Amino acid sequence: MVALGGNAILQPGQRGSYAEQRHNVDVTAAQLADLVAAGHELVLTHGNGPQVGNLLLQNEEAKATVEPMPLDVLGAMTQGMIGYMFQQSLTNELRARGIQRPVVSLVTQVEVDVEDPAFNDPTKPIGPFYPEEEAAAIAAERGYIMQPDSGRGWRRVVPSPQPGRVVEQEVVSGLLSQGAIIIAAGGGGVPVRTAEDGALTGVEAVIDKDRAAAALARAVGADMLMILTDVPNVKLHYGTPNEVSLGEVSAEQMASYVAEKHFAAGSMGPKVTSCLDFVRQTGKQAIITALNQAVAAAAGE
């Protein structure tokens, strides 16, 4: 189970043109194809922050002419968009290596619990920045919760609940057993709640993609959870002169580093805790590294 960070699709400073995203996806797909060529089965997931942010902006700018869509629908749209690009690129990269494997992306729903305390405390900023007055007007008009974000303006914030059951998990397992490579739970999956009669409804929230990756990894019985980001190593004392790169670490040791608060809440924290949960619940291995180290890391190097 491989989870890709935002950089695999859009680099900092890029505006997000199709050409930019296509190029990044192609470079990433080449790395993933090397993993498959090394003999691994692969389930892939990815972030969608910049893409869903751009869609929110498009919806906002065009609202006088085209009715805006809710966040769960926009999440599904980005799964389709990013999934399509990876499924095409990866197919091409595999073909170039003489490997014929079906690659498919699934619009994936992930159950959340309406009792999750996250719903009383929305923390995840999404979409465009607004001046304070406009933010107040949007909050009044649509009932969004708007908060200041790092002095850059006001943004909508939504809850970030824990992932529960991946609704399509049996389909993912079924496709895996047929030799397919599956792209699933993109952007953390579309959050849904299940009514008592079993009916599903979309929820306007964002599930952390690293947590969703760990949930799906458990569900499909993955041998390894690999979270690929833009740094080769997890570090202690990150960003200080005492910075130390970690290599192989036991779950117990990692838990004590978490307790010592070495990992930032909005970035490395969820990766480390997701890996820790996966390792504790399965007894298998988890890896956090940079995209271009994936093959070496999977080989234990």
Closest CA to 189 of 152, 215, 221, 158: 215
Residue 92 or 267 having the CB closest to ligand ADP: 267
Note if 7 is an active site residue.
yes
Phi, psi dihedrals of residue 104, rounded to the nearest 5°: -140, 140
- Tell me the pairing of strands 43-46 and 2-4: parallel
- In the region spanning residues 262 to 291, those forming contacts with ligand ADP, defined by CB under 6 A, are 262-264, 267-268
Note if 284 is an active site residue.
no
230 contacts ligand ADP (rule: CB under 6 A): yes
Of 12-20, 109-117, 133-141, 229-237, the segment contacting ligand ADP by CB under 6 A is 229-237
> How many residues line the site for ligand ADP (CB under 6 A)?
15
Closest CA to 217 of 269, 281, 266: 281
23 contacts ligand ADP (rule: CB under 6 A): no
| Catalytic-labelled residue, pool 49, 75, 124, 186 | 124
What would the x/- binding string for ligand ADP be over residues 164 to 203, using CB under 6 A? ----------------------------------------
116 contacts ligand ADP (rule: CB under 6 A): no
Of 37-45, 118-126, 180-188, 260-268, the segment contacting ligand ADP by CB under 6 A is 260-268
47 contacts ligand ADP (rule: CB under 6 A): yes
Q: Among 45, 87, 229, 274, which residue sits at the site for ligand ADP (rule: CB under 6 A)?
A: 229
238 contacts ligand ADP (rule: CB under 6 A): yes
257 contacts ligand ADP (rule: CB under 6 A): no
136 contacts ligand ADP (rule: CB under 6 A): no
**Which parts of this chain interact with ligand ADP (CB under 6 A)?**
5-7, 47, 229-231, 234-235, 238, 262-264, 267-268
